[in-house]
Amino acid sequence: MFKILAHPYSLRLKNIRSSRLLNHKREGALLRFSFPDGSSGYSDLHPWEEFGDLSLDQEIELLKSGRPTALGFRALQLAAKDAEFRRQGVNALEGLTVPKSHFLLSGDEHKDHKLLETIANSGFDTLKIKAGSALDFLDELVGALKHHPFKIRIDFNERLDAGSLPDALNRLKPLEEKIDFLEDPTRFDREMWIKAMERSRIPFAKDMRLEEAFSDKSIPILVMKPAKQNEEMFLQEMHPEQKVVVTSYLGHPLGQVQAAYVAGVMQKSIPLETAGLKSHHQYETDAFSERLGPLSPHFQAPAGTGWGFDDLLPKLSWS
């Protein structure tokens, strides 16, 4: 078996409005797994209880007792990968081509023209925006983004009800040409989604309970999260015509490196869409996120072996 030590961390959200929505901090833990051969590897564990994950303590407890959830099991799998790279003394991202990323806007950032200009000048061509059930917010987005060149992804986390979807699509009409996709606009209803896509000519992407759309080419885009899904299984289950967006789990920077690694590995088999791997801009900068480099859609691998951060990791408190 293996032994686990944990380093609980909290990430401080930068934006006031999103802080109010999602609390000020996001909690997770870095895990250090010690394997029987004497090697050790690290993983990020960043549960989202509001989206069905267990609490951090429960996730760790189940891992320790050998009954991990999908999230815990992936943490173990990826830590084993890290241990392998550290044993060999190589960086996990060496030789891999990682897709570029979108920029994730939070709160009222879409209203900040200066910020949008900075994002564009840094090379980003795609924005991802989280929306809720308020349709007025969509009018606001139209006003703010109509004259910007970005492609736009809007993630509703299934918060629209089926009855308001046509209205939402109508309001987004002026952005039609710019919209890359709408993610989980409503609770999944295959027939309803297909009809709405045909009528609006706007593609939908599936992220939550993604398995429901595996091998279904009528659902054109899948959002793959390496924190939860195994890349080999995913490649077997998806339809070759489905497009894939690999995103981080909005956790620790080490988790972003893990997601970037998986994206790089998948890209050896299939071309990937613009990804979502640069989520650290959501949070206040720390010693880890600093290593991910300046504002850019390109993923910068932190120096070191495995996931990197070789000098920072041993200095943390582990228990």
In the complex, which residues of this chain contact Mg ion (CB under 5 A)? 155, 183, 207
Shortest separation between residue 167's beta carbon and Mg ion, angstroms:
21
Shortest separation between residue 304's beta carbon and Mg ion, angstroms:
30
- Which residues lie closer than 8 Å to 189 by C-beta, 6 or more apart? 162
Residue 124 CA to residue 81 CA, distance in Å, equals 30
Please name which of 23, 62, 59 lies closest in space to residue 44, comparing C-alpha atoms: 59
Residue 153 CA to residue 129 CA, distance in Å, equals 6
Shortest separation between residue 225's beta carbon and Mg ion, angstroms:
9
- Which residues lie closer than 8 Å to 116 by C-beta, 6 or more apart? 110, 144, 145, 148, 150
> 74 or 86: whose CB is closer to Mg ion?
74
> 262 or 301: whose CB is closer to Mg ion?
262
3-state helix, strand, coil in the chain (%, to 5): 40, 20, 40
> 173 or 209: whose CB is closer to Mg ion?
209
Residue 306 CA to residue 257 CA, distance in Å, equals 9
Shortest separation between residue 299's beta carbon and Mg ion, angstroms:
19
* Residue closest to Mg ion when measured from CB atoms: 207
CB atoms within 10 A of CB 47: 24
Shortest separation between residue 155's beta carbon and Mg ion, angstroms:
4
> 82 or 183: whose CB is closer to Mg ion?
183
Residue 20 CA to residue 232 CA, distance in Å, equals 38
> 145 or 245: whose CB is closer to Mg ion?
245
Shortest separation between residue 88's beta carbon and Mg ion, angstroms:
34
> 180 or 183: whose CB is closer to Mg ion?
183
Shortest separation between residue 184's beta carbon and Mg ion, angstroms:
6
> 208 or 316: whose CB is closer to Mg ion?
208
CB atoms within 10 A of CB 63: 23
Helices of type H across the chain: 16-22, 56-64, 70-88, 113-121, 136-145, 165-171, 190-200, 231-237, 253-266, 287-290
Q: Which structure tokens are listed for 142?
A: 């139209």
